[in-house]
Structure 1
Amino acid sequence: MMGPRQEAQPALFYEFSLEDHVPQNHLLRSIDRFVDLSGIRTFLDDFYSHTGRPSVDPELLIRMLLVGYCFGIRSERRLCEEVHLNLAYRWFCRLDLSDRVPDHSTFSKNRHGRFRDSELLRHLFETTVARCLEEGLVSGQRMAIDASLIEADANKQNSTPKDDWDAASIDPADAPRAVREYLHTLDKAAFGAASEVQPKFTSHSDPASQWTAARKGPAFFSYSDNYLIDTDHGVIVDVEATRSIRQAEVGSTKTMLKRVKGRFGLHPERLIADTAYGTGPLLGWLVDRKIAPHIPVIDKSGRNDGTWTRADFEWDADNDQYICPEGHELKQFRRNYSDPNRGPTGKGVAKYRGLKLTCQACPSKSRCCPNMDFRSITREEHEDARQVARDIAKTRQYDISMKLRKKVEMLFAHLKRILGLGRLRLRGPCGANDEFLLAATAQNLRKLAKVFPAPQQTRKA
């Protein structure tokens, strides 16, 4: 038979414990074991006044932000609603049933003020990396780097063509926060100074974002999220926000490698990346620092007409010359110059040429230079480092590295599909940096929780 209608019966007293109502296998139980915020109050002490009304506990705000980024809650307004209703979120944030959830505007006030001034989010991220090191998830031997485009909170309708944009005419006193941040980044290698080429359009709301069509589809404004990971367990050891152009992304490699060496003492024996990072200057920089570049080389010396390429010529480093397959010499200079300004400079691109009389009489001229009087070969400044990368590409370890490189791509897929960071919510370089740091922190915490889940406890009857 049908049971009686269920109706809520109000009670005068309740015996309720959040600890008993959060499942033992909940993700937040595992994450909570690796969140150490004990030093945050000391870290922020200089950024708070010693008088006035007490502020919201910064540890509470950070715990709420971690909940939002771990579970893909993009809106801070919605985050406050979820923490108010969800018992597991309340437990993680150390809130009792009767405790009030902070207003969403509190996040903006702290983020634009003391959080950025103190670089708290960078400190929080590096704390999680240090915990990964402590747990043995990072060896520092093999690292991989890559960048992913994240759409900015801007659109073409509110933009200006490059011919009409004049940054010098902007008054910083009257400009929005994102525009002031743009003016401060004009001389930074990751943004304004990354390239002299101006974007086709500049956004009014977020001018530091890059107008790009790199996805082979409709163009949009974006930032690049650069990850440096340890390939042992896919732990993110550093993150950097840059413009969405190759020069800025490649330049961030040096920044992140220097930072992890200074902060954690990590110096990889190899760096894994895709072809976009196979530039001569970066390969030379890595080889000089004893880092093996497991990177495909950007090489445009190949020919499509069946004639000999540069790879068919033997390099003679002792005599600074190339030897063609027929045994003839191609030299850059054939006499000693008394004037040092006319001799080799050691910078830029050098051109090595064969003798006209030798090439004209050569039986293999049709396979070497059929349309030229003599054969010439260009050699870049960092050709030795490029050759090191080519030699590495022939090894079995290189094949393994190319498979390990997929781990960083998987992290970007997780970032966009699971954490929901396909489009930025905050504007300006600082806003992009804040979101990237928090997302990387959340991914590292989820990694720790996956590898070291919380022990299951038997419930008491």
Structure 2
Amino acid sequence: MMGPKQEAQAALFYEFSLEEHVPQDHLLRSIDRFVDLDDIRQYLAEFYSHTGRPSIDPELLIRMLLVGYCFGIRSERRLCEEVHLNLAYRWFCRLDLSDPVPNHSTFSKNRHGRFRESALLRHLFEKTVARCIADGLVSGQRLAADASLIEADANKQNSTPKEDWDISAINPSDAPRAVKEYLDVLDDAAFGAASEVKPKFTSHSDPASQWTAARKGPAFFSYSTNYLIDTDHSVIVDVEGSRSIRQAEVGSVRTMLDRIKDRHDIDPERLIADTAYGTGPMLGWLVKRGIAPHIPVIDQAKKAEGVWSRDDFEWDQENDRYICPEGHDLKQFRRNYSDPNRGPSGKGTMRYRALKLTCQDCPSKAKCCPDQSIRTINREPDEDARQVARDIAKTKQYVVSMRLRKKVEMLFAHLKRILGLGRLRLRGPNGANDEFLLAATVQNLRKLAKIFPAPQQTRKA
């Protein structure tokens, strides 16, 4: 039997509860238990005026931003529409059915103003890290680091080749926000001071972004998000934005390790990373800090197949020499110099050489130096640290570390595919850092929600 036609009936009074209409197993219910914004008003108090019209509650804006990054809603205009329509979003943002949703322009004013001036997003991220530590998800013993390219909001059509780019022609007082930020970070180790090499193209709209073809495809403008994670439960303990070049990414790891030591008293036993971080200075810095580098060493001293490499020579630390497989010495100097740092390169690199007569009469010359009259070996200033990393690479723990390193790559995949952060919407170094911090905060909150889901209430019959 066909039922009667459904028609909306107007009523004078409604009894409605948002709490009853949000499913008990909804993701936002689990996340809500770990969002601590009790101190946000006190934290921002000095950035608000004591007179004038009352502002929109900053907790509401932060909760809306968390919803947007949690569910991949990249547009703030669309975010306002979704919060207006979705009951679960309203419940999480503490909005009743009759409460209005803020205008999308409010986010820009607060993001570029008091949120950025107060470093609120960094504060919010570090509170989630502290919560993960308190709940036993972070041991701080094994950390892994890596970087991933995120496309910037810029394109080649609005750019200038490096030979035509003139910084002196920029008027800072009349420049857009992203250009002013570019001028501010020219001496920053994560941006302008990371390398003296100028990028092939510079964007007019976001000059701090890096023109790169690192993905082996069409080049594009990008920033790098650098993650430092604890491998126990893949919790992100720190995040940093930088230029998309190796020097800036390696420097960001140092910055993050110093920061977590200062903020959370985390001093790891080992750092796990890929070959890009296996430079001598980086390995030397880690060894001096007492951190075991589980990192493949960048070694450019490999010889052709069938020719002895540096690993075939024995290093004699006490006598400052190498000993070849035939038992001959390779020394840096054959006589004393007043300057012990004096060497052929003039940059601290030490060159050890055998005697010419010894090499000419050696029966193994074809295996040692077939194309040279004598065998030479260059030793970098941080060669001892490089050897430490080589020795670690021979252990079983190193094999485990290389498997654990994939956890960082899984977080980047989640960042781009689930959270939708494949391209930035904000410009400039500050805008990129804001997006990276919010995304990392949401990833940690989702991790907490997954490990500690909200308790399920039994429904009444």
Q: 1:32 is matched with which residue?
A: 32
Look up the match of 1:320: 320
Equivalent residue for 2:69?
Answer: 69
1:139 is matched with: 139
Kindly state the Cα deviation for residue 342 of structure 1 after the two structures are TM-superposed: 4.7
Alignment of 1:245-394 (within 5 A): 245-338=245-338, 342=342, 348-394=348-394
Q: CA-to-partner distance for each residue in 1:249-288, whole Å, 9 max, x for gaps? A: 0010100000000000001000000011101000000000
Shift of 1:344: 9.4
**Matched ranges for 1:73-222 at <5 A:** 73-222=73-222
1:346–1:381 Cα contact (<8 Å) kept: no
Distance 1:348-1:339 versus aligned 2 partners, 3 A rule: closer
Q: Which residue of structure 1 lines up, in the alignment, with residue 20 of structure 2?
A: 20
| Amino acid across the alignment from 1:10 | A
Residues 1:161 and 1:346: Cα distance change in structure 2 (over 3 Å)? closer
SS at match of 1:252: helix
* Number of aligned residues: 461
Question: What code does the residue aligned with 2:406 have?
Answer: K
Q: How far did 1:347 drift?
A: 5.4
What do residues 112-160 of structure 1 show as CA deviations (whole Å, max 9, x unaligned)?
Answer: 1100000000000000000000100000000000000000000000000
Give deviations 1:42-72, integer Å, cap 9, x for gaps.
1001100111110000000000000000110
- Looking at structure 2, the residues matched to 300 and 381 of structure 1 have their Cα atoms a distance apart, in angstroms, of 15
Residues 142-193 of structure 1, C-alpha deviations (whole Å, 9 max, x = no match): 0000000000000000000000001121001111000000000100000000
Amino acid across the alignment from 2:393: A
Change (3 A) 1:320 1:346: farther
1:337 Cα shift? 2.0
Shift of 1:37: 0.0
Alpha-carbon contact 1:24-1:456 (below 8 Å) kept: yes
Q: 1:312 to 1:47 in 2, by over 3 A?
A: same
After TM superposition, the structure 1 stretch with the greater mean CA deviation from structure 2, 141-150 or 166-175, is: 166-175
Structure 1 contact 337–343 (Cα < 8 Å) conserved:
no
Is 1:409 the equivalent of 2:409? yes
Which residue of the partner structure matches residue 5 of structure 1?
Answer: 5
Equivalents in 2 of 1:214, 1:345: separation in Å? 31
Name the CA distance, whole Å, in 2 between partners of 1:380 and 1:363.
29
Displacement of 1:407: 0.5
For the residues of structure 2 that align with 1:267 and 1:310, how far apart are their CA atoms? 33
Q: Structure 2 regions of 5+ residues with no counterpart?
A: none
> What's the offset of the Cα at 1:5?
1.0
Q: Partner letter of residue 355 of structure 1? A: L
CA distance in 2, matches of 1:387, 1:458: 60
Deviation at 1:459, TM superposition (A): 2.8
Q: Take 1:149 and 1:422, find their aligned partners in 2: how far apart are those partners?
A: 9
User: How far 1:338 moved relative to its partner?
Assistant: 3.8
TM-align CA RMSD: 1.2
Q: Is the 8 A contact 2:272 2:405 kept in 1?
A: yes
Identity of aligned residues (%): 82
Matched residue, 1:430: 430
TM-score for the superposition, normalised by structure 2? 0.98
TM-score by structure 1 length?
A: 0.98
Structure 2 match to 1:239: 239
- For the residue of structure 1 that corresponds to 2:172, the secondary structure is coil
Deviation of 1:34 (Å): 0.2
Deviations 1:16-56 (A, max 9, x none): 00000000000000000000000000100110011111000
Amino acid at match of 1:233: H
Describe the superposition over 1:219-246 as per-residue Cα deviations: whole angstroms up to 9, x where unpaired.
0000000000000000000000000000
Alignment-mate amino acid for residue 350 of structure 2: A
Contact 2:343 2:351 in 1 (8 A): no
The aligned amino acid for 2:336 is N
Q: Distance in 2 between matches of 1:418 and 1:333?
A: 59
After TM superposition, the structure 1 stretch with the greater mean CA deviation from structure 2, 304-313 or 127-136, is 304-313
Long gaps (5+) in structure 1:
none
> What are the Cα deviations for residues 354-413 of structure 1, in whole angstroms up to 9, with x where unaligned?
001111111111111122221111111111100100110010000000010011000000
Corresponding residue number in structure 2 for 1:52 = 52
How has the CA–CA distance of structure 1 residues 343 and 154 changed in structure 2, closer, same or farther, with 3 Å as cutoff?
closer
410 and 343 in structure 1: CA distance in 2 versus 1, 3 angstrom threshold: closer
SS of 2:387 mapped into structure 1: helix
Deviation at 1:305, TM superposition (A): 4.5
Q: Secondary structure at the match of 1:173?
A: helix
CA distance in 2 between partners of 1:207 and 1:406 (Å): 32
In structure 1, C-alpha distance between the alignment counterparts of 2:343 and 2:390, rounded to whole Å: 29
SS at match of 2:237: strand
CA distance in 2, matches of 1:342, 1:386: 22
- 2:366 maps to a residue whose letter is S
Q: Distance in 2 between matches of 1:161 and 1:346?
A: 34
Q: 1:344 to 1:213 in 2, by over 3 A?
A: closer
Letter matched to residue 139 of structure 1: S
Change beyond 3 A, Cα 1:386–1:339: closer
Q: Contact 1:347/1:381 (CA < 8 Å) preserved in 2?
A: no
Inter-CA distance 339–2: structure 2 relative to 1 (3 Å threshold): closer
Q: Contact 1:206–1:427 at 8 Å: present in 2 too?
A: yes
- CA apart distance, 1:348: 2.6
